[in-house]
A and B are shown apart, each in its own frame.
Chain A
Amino acid sequence: MKAYVTVSLKKTVLDPQGKAIQAALQKMGHSGLSEVRQGKYFELVLAPELTQEQARAQVEKAAREVLTNPVMEEYSIRWE
């Protein structure tokens, strides 16, 4: 089983990198892209002996306590 964790800045937090990328895209003619926000992406491979429940608990904990700083970031998890 694999977990794909996406970490992004909270909507209330200014993302200067996203803004710079958006400005560059605008200059290149991508006028339809009105906002860009940059995030991080992690692939976590789960040990086969874990139950689904254990796997979910472990990934949630890692995402919440390590991969994300809750002051400025939020995360979402996709499973495969």
Chain B
Amino acid sequence: MSLRTMNRVVLAAIVAVSVAPLAGQAPAPASDAPGGARPAAAKAPAKSKSYSAPRTPWGHPDLQGIWNNGTVTPLERPADLADREFLTDEEWAARAKEAAGRAADRPDDPDSDLALAYDNEWWDRGAPLKRTSLIIDPPNGKLPALTPEGQKLVAARAAAAKSHGPADSWEDRPLQERCLLYHGVPAFPTGYNNNYLITQTRDYVAIRYEMLAETRIIPLDGRPQLKTPIPQWLGNSRGHWEGDTLVVEVTGYNPKTTFRFPVDHPTLRIVERFTRTAEGIDYRFTVENPTMYTRPWSAVLPLVKTDGPIYEYACHEGNYGLANVLRGHRYEEQKAAEEGKREGR
């Protein structure tokens, strides 16, 4: 979970505790909370009649606290579930059991265990949702078709990636490996540390990320986006309340920002919606990127309350991995060059 350097026994205990409530499931799961069974409307989250969100003293719905969005549910619907928006209860239970038991059910053979990069005690991926994909619109759970210019852009990026080796420099490595950007906006869950602290005032919502210990700040004061936004890795956020929903518009991304899906940064506009529910926070976002996609698309990433605190995640300060990846590649090149010389003789 959070304390990466604690000893493994303690870590395993934390992971087990944090996963148990999700796998155990509250009665009558609803909407898009993990295990939720109710179909979600494409735009507005389904409203529970009996539920009324707690309020801040100034009357805004209270989103404050520590939340986790870890899930093993994929962005796009897998081919074998192509015609189904939801898993059956049995399918969901089997997946939840598998996800919850990963730390305990480690491979017996140490080589297989280590081949998981970090071993299974490390991971904290979260529970599966009841739905088969995070994408809720288009209804087939897949990213929409790319525009012709989007296709060209994707092909050009693939060609550029092929024009150099996998680790000629740090710039060829993923942003996460460089400790430059991790969960981003929208914050996509990864294998661990999917925890967020939300703090509110009348004028701002701040979201502190466990990963990289950074804070995203969303002004609510109605300030306009700049005509030429200052490119930011997390984009430029502008928020406002629509009834009980916090709506945030994000534009002006740094062109080097990467996402779990292809984007064309200059025309990218993401609209997020945060709504407090009995189960947590219904979080959904719509991607509008007309030069990349033939239509807007939407996905959900529900947040569930979790216990804190969040500990420091200092990534760059101890980033031995990046230097070692580069060093390994240089070593192999040197070895290949020496062998080439020997064979040439």
- To the question of whether A and B form a pair in one complex, the answer is no
Q: Which residues of B contact A (CB under 8 A)?
A: none
Q: Which residues of A contact B (CB under 8 A)?
A: none
